[in-house]
Structure 1
Amino acid sequence: MSSALSPAALAISDLTFIWPDGQPVFTGLDLTVGAGRTALIGANGSGKSTLLRLLTGELTPTGGTVRVDGALAYLPQDLTLDAARPVDDVLGIAATRRALAAIERGSADPVHYATVGDDWDVDERARSELDRFGLGHLDLDRRVGTLSGGEAVLLGLAGQLLRRPRVLLLDEPTNNLDRAARERLYATVTAWPGVLLLVSHDRELLELVDQVAELRDGTARLFGGTLSEYEAALAVEQEAAQRAVRVAEGDVRRQKRELADAHVKLARRLRYGQKMWDTKREPKAIMAARKREAQVSAGKHRGMHEERLASARERLATAEEAVRDDAIIRIDLPATAVPPGRRVLTVRDAVLRNGVRLSLDVYGPERIALLGANGSGKTTLLSTLVGTVPPRSGEVDIAVPVRLLPQRLDVLDDDLSIVANVHRMAPAAGDNAIRARLARFLFRGARAERPVGTLSGGERFRATLATLLLAEPAPQLLLLDEPTNNLDLASARQLGEALAAYQGALVVASHDLTFLRTLGITRWLTLDRAPRSVP
């Protein structure tokens, strides 16, 4: 980077953003990010992807300012490529290459020279970027329809880097990437010289950052260091917050006792005063004066203790707000249970669409991890198991109700509410029953009425999972294709804990080994040209 250039930076000041339906995301958000690698983390629905879209200008703030100093590049979470587009078009160099070709054919048109500018080595730069990401085998004129999901992500990233940005925004860049591709991404992130702001649930990637920006309750807090250092600092903070809650709870109990004692003393004084009045042992005027004084004194005493109790309760409420209580998804649904030994699925001498041969038997509540490089056929196998992609030959027999949670989460109607989507899958279920079950997936009250199209990636995942599991008949075989792609760190952990309570059979395709190890996997199956089990 030239020293003549001012330092690249992102500056957000007093940012407010409200969706058209009135749902607020940010109110008065402030955040400044300079050179280095910054991780943007937060619960699903906290606004991480929304903030990136505001930085790119794709969304317009309701109020406040967003400033980006330096050329910006952005890799979105859900990169969708038209299958008919050539590689050079995705890289953003198609027009430059056409202009170069025209000049090489002898054209002197100034338009072509203006298009090329200083980019006479565009092909060499493109090949270099493709090589960096393991895509050197791609022809620049090739159509992208034959690429795997992971290859498409890397191609999109290569195209962004070809623009020579000084500010790079990455939204879940490891989604769909196999191990080799992730290593290339890690190397790129480690060597990045400018401003990098990334959203990710990949713990290895988050160990490469210089600082963590946490979005919570519409505000942003910066923590210096990696994810592990952030978690250590947060643990210390939470321990102190829990101690403060215990102290505040003790204070509330003490103030309640003192207030009760004050009531008892007041009652005694009133009884004594009434007794003196009834026996008329002193002049009436003196007794009336003493009675008033006693009532005033007792009232002040009681008021003092009530104020102390109210103050103690306020301190407790403040202390409790500092303690995080991340809700848990619960999917312990009895109707999904499969007895041990019961046949779930059989695959006999099947040849998948990509040429992979496979035989497989699954019995009882087995948990199978499906591994393999991008393009090895994991998604194809799952689609074959549910019948949407028939095998070239062989037999596939499913003996229990089955549901597939696809990578793209495209099984829901965006225009319908979460409740309405569940009704589509379980038409006989009553509204109250559906709402009660949705509460297990953290959709309570008005949240269950939100249109699916307005949900964040993690919320959409939960809504899709809920719709599939609450379907009738209940699935006793659940197929998951890269389920942690759209989840924040806490949600990925919660999903692992929730799936531990699922009583049916699981087949999970994932590159996230940390997540897979939480599921109690009973069998590891790696797909390549000859599928094999992994101990």
Structure 2
Amino acid sequence: MTHAPFLTLHGVSHSLPDGRLLFRDLEAHFDHRPTGLVGRNGIGKSVLARILAGTLMPTSGRVLRSGPVHYLPQQIRPQPLQTVAGLAGVQAGLDALARIEAGCAQPGDDELLGERWDLRECLARILDASGLSHVDADTPATRLSGGELTRVALAGAFLGGADFLVLDEPSNHLDRQHRDALIEQLRRWPGGLLVVSHDRSLLDSLHTIVELSETGLRRYGGGHAFYARTRAQEHAAAQDRLDRSKAQNRRQARELDRQRERAERRQARGRHDAANANLAPILLGLRKGRSETTSGKLRVQQQAARESLAQQVREAAAAVASQRETVLFAPPAARGPDRVAALTDVTLPHLAGATRNIALSLLRGQRIALVGANGRGKSTLLQVLSGRLAPLGGRCELAVATAYLDQHLSLLDPDRGVLDQLRAINRRTGEGELRSRLALLGLGPAQLRPPAGQLSGGERVRAAMACALYGENPAQLLLLDEPDNHLDLEATAALETMLRQYDGTLVAASHDPHFLDALAPTHRLEAGAAGWRLTPWQAAAR
């Protein structure tokens, strides 16, 4: 690469097919510095990434690019007959190389291959470095897991020779080991890099963070830690402005009331004096008219002043409204048994190796972080604990009400409204009280009636938590399978807040060490090559 890579937005706006405007007049310049793009779900990050990469045209404006851009979408969907080489984007080059080596080259093969005479070896090396030594160029892509598909697509991104990589949630479906490997690969990437992500470890490895919001794009220097500190400071300052605006509103409202009372007293004295004065009727009329005019002007001025004060308070409140802390209504803690669940000599289905067998007791109040590489059986264990899967052998005993929140939040019916679902499982509590509890979770009237499937990821997680805990028999054992996987940073923070307030027994699987730390675990249950291992949680050794 002989020139500095860049992507530049000039007046870029985009509207959805239904006419909804996602963003307007965006101006930004992305250069060689690795950049993370963040923002709440639904704000338009993926659309903007596609526009930057050139796979989607903006409604208006233009994008300048220094050279080829490789775009990695959030969802990797292989074609029915696609191979690993095809998914990596090097099938055409390998076919050209094979024809040249066989002595039957076709016109254009040299251009397809370029200088990449070692393409076959390069693909093998990067697959091996990505933990995919068990596949080769001809392996059908449909045989791969979600994490393996992502790793193959990333391998293609690094092999493509692009000026700029635009990656949309590249660490989704990757376990901790492969997330760390991705971060290291991106550190070594010599070209431009823009990553759409909610992965805090990945974001911390980048040079700068750019946030997309309703007001446009804003750049923050540093990685996620700097971004989070700055946002926290801004929120504190916004809350301070709100408090000061409310106090000023009260003071000036009192002063306006005093002005009105003084004006009313003057008018009353004027009427008294006029009634006792020996003035001609025409003079009395003029005096009365002047008084009414003055009184009318004062009322108009006071109304304008009150509206101005109210607007200041509304603007200050709007600055903090989206960042208000989520409050989980804590159901009365049931005493219950000390042992809430037990697996006795259980053989887990769909597994081979050391993690196929497990013996485990869960105690009241334990908070367990469930960790381990993909394929070790974490999801299977949670499904057996929840009763969704039967063990092949042994015994699974549950002594308390249990709720299971998988990545798809299948606890929720996507075709029914949140309030309707909650009322169906809690007939004892009035609708007004249920609405109040949902409001504390950030679910207002606009989120209660529409089908749950139409809500954002963060809203659906809050609704699922409500259904788990606000029923007549609230869950005392909460099982979570990567609930943070598709949440934006704001929604993840809200989920962490909710789970910290939960005082039952908790088992949570996640590849995000920041998320697990935030839950204040008591224990770590690791699925490893030697089997299952339960140890006290030590954040420093995560």
Whether TM-score is above 0.5 comes out as yes
Per the alignment, do residues 155 and 315 of structure 1 end up closer, same or farther by CA in structure 2, a change over 3 Å counting? same
- Tell me what 1:534 maps to: 535
Deviations along 1:359-379, one digit per CA (max 9) or x if unpaired, are 011132432111112332212
CA contact (8 A) 2:38 2:209 kept: yes
Deviations along 1:52-88, one digit per CA (max 9) or x if unpaired, are 2444456554444455553222333344557986433
Residue range with higher mean Cα deviation, 267-276 or 436-445: 436-445
Per the alignment, do residues 470 and 235 of structure 1 end up closer, same or farther by CA in structure 2, a change over 3 Å counting? closer
Matches within 5 A, 1:153-302: 153-302=150-299
Deviations along 1:428-468, one digit per CA (max 9) or x if unpaired, are 89995876665454333333455566555444544555555
Distance 1:301 1:240 in 2: 35
Per the alignment, do residues 85 and 8 of structure 1 end up closer, same or farther by CA in structure 2, a change over 3 Å counting? same
Question: In structure 1, the residue corresponding to 2:211 is in which secondary structure?
Answer: strand
**1:32 aligned to 2:29?**
yes
Residue of 84, 89, 98 corresponding to 2:86: 89
Amino acid at match of 1:362: L
Return the TM-score normalized by structure 1: 0.84
Distance 2:164 2:253 in 1: 57
Distance 1:124 1:425 in 2: 60
CA contact (8 A) 2:206 2:223 kept: yes
Question: In structure 1, the residue corresponding to 2:376 is in which secondary structure?
Answer: coil
CA contact (8 A) 1:332 1:503 kept: no
**Aligned-residue offset at 1:424:** 12
Per the alignment, do residues 339 and 162 of structure 1 end up closer, same or farther by CA in structure 2, a change over 3 Å counting? farther
- Tell me what 1:480 maps to: 480
**Aligned-residue offset at 1:162:** 1.9
- Tell me what 1:505 maps to: 505
CA contact (8 A) 1:9 1:35 kept: no
Distance 1:478 1:83 in 2: 38
**Aligned-residue offset at 1:358:** 1.0
Residue of 347, 350, 354 corresponding to 2:346: 350
- Tell me what 1:131 maps to: 128
Residue range with higher mean Cα deviation, 152-161 or 441-450: 441-450
CA contact (8 A) 1:133 1:181 kept: yes
Distance 1:435 1:482 in 2: 28
Amino acid at match of 2:261: V
Number of aligned residues: 530
Amino acid at match of 1:532: R
Give the CA RMSD over aligned residues.
Answer: 3.7
**1:341 aligned to 2:337?**
yes
CA contact (8 A) 1:276 1:287 kept: no
- Tell me what 1:516 maps to: 516
**1:50 aligned to 2:47?**
yes
Residue of 6, 9, 12 corresponding to 2:7: 9
**Aligned-residue offset at 1:326:** 1.6
Residue range with higher mean Cα deviation, 113-122 or 67-76: 113-122
Per the alignment, do residues 23 and 464 of structure 1 end up closer, same or farther by CA in structure 2, a change over 3 Å counting? farther
Distance 1:370 1:377 in 2: 10
Amino acid at match of 2:516: L
**Aligned-residue offset at 1:269:** 2.1
Distance 1:279 1:477 in 2: 83
Question: In structure 1, the residue corresponding to 2:34 is in which secondary structure?
Answer: strand
Per the alignment, do residues 258 and 24 of structure 1 end up closer, same or farther by CA in structure 2, a change over 3 Å counting? same
Distance 2:430 2:16 in 1: 30
- In structure 1, the gaps of 5 or more residues are none
**Aligned-residue offset at 1:117:** 5.2
**1:491 aligned to 2:491?**
yes
Deviations along 1:247-276, one digit per CA (max 9) or x if unpaired, are 433432333223212222222222222222
Distance 1:306 1:255 in 2: 12
Question: In structure 1, the residue corresponding to 2:266 is in which secondary structure?
Answer: helix
Distance 1:368 1:230 in 2: 29
Per the alignment, do residues 97 and 326 of structure 1 end up closer, same or farther by CA in structure 2, a change over 3 Å counting? same
CA contact (8 A) 1:421 1:467 kept: no
**1:374 aligned to 2:374?**
yes
Residue of 73, 76, 92 corresponding to 1:76: 73
Distance 1:440 1:309 in 2: 29
Question: In structure 1, the residue corresponding to 2:42 is in which secondary structure?
Answer: coil
Distance 1:170 1:467 in 2: 35
- Tell me what 2:539 maps to: none
Deviations along 1:344-368, one digit per CA (max 9) or x if unpaired, are 3221222332331210111324321
Residue range with higher mean Cα deviation, 346-355 or 71-80: 71-80
**Aligned-residue offset at 1:527:** 0.9
Amino acid at match of 2:169: E
Residue range with higher mean Cα deviation, 338-347 or 199-208: 338-347
Deviations along 1:292-341, one digit per CA (max 9) or x if unpaired, are 33333444445444433333333333344444542444443638x55353
Amino acid at match of 1:477: L
CA contact (8 A) 2:124 2:136 kept: no
Amino acid at match of 2:534: S
Amino acid at match of 1:534: T
Identity of aligned residues (%): 36
Amino acid at match of 1:527: A
Distance 2:427 2:239 in 1: 45
Distance 1:400 1:286 in 2: 88
Deviations along 1:389-431, one digit per CA (max 9) or x if unpaired, are 54443333334443432235567676x3544994898598999
Residue range with higher mean Cα deviation, 226-235 or 422-431: 422-431
CA contact (8 A) 2:33 2:192 kept: yes
**Aligned-residue offset at 1:246:** 4.1
CA contact (8 A) 1:340 1:365 kept: no
Question: In structure 1, the residue corresponding to 2:518 is in which secondary structure?
Answer: coil
Per the alignment, do residues 7 and 253 of structure 1 end up closer, same or farther by CA in structure 2, a change over 3 Å counting? same
Distance 2:230 2:481 in 1: 34
Return the TM-score normalized by structure 2: 0.83
Residue range with higher mean Cα deviation, 70-79 or 37-46: 70-79
Distance 1:321 1:200 in 2: 26
CA contact (8 A) 2:6 2:30 kept: no
- Tell me what 1:310 maps to: 307
Distance 1:76 1:429 in 2: 46
CA contact (8 A) 2:9 2:26 kept: no
Distance 1:312 1:427 in 2: 42
Amino acid at match of 1:498: M
Per the alignment, do residues 119 and 530 of structure 1 end up closer, same or farther by CA in structure 2, a change over 3 Å counting? same
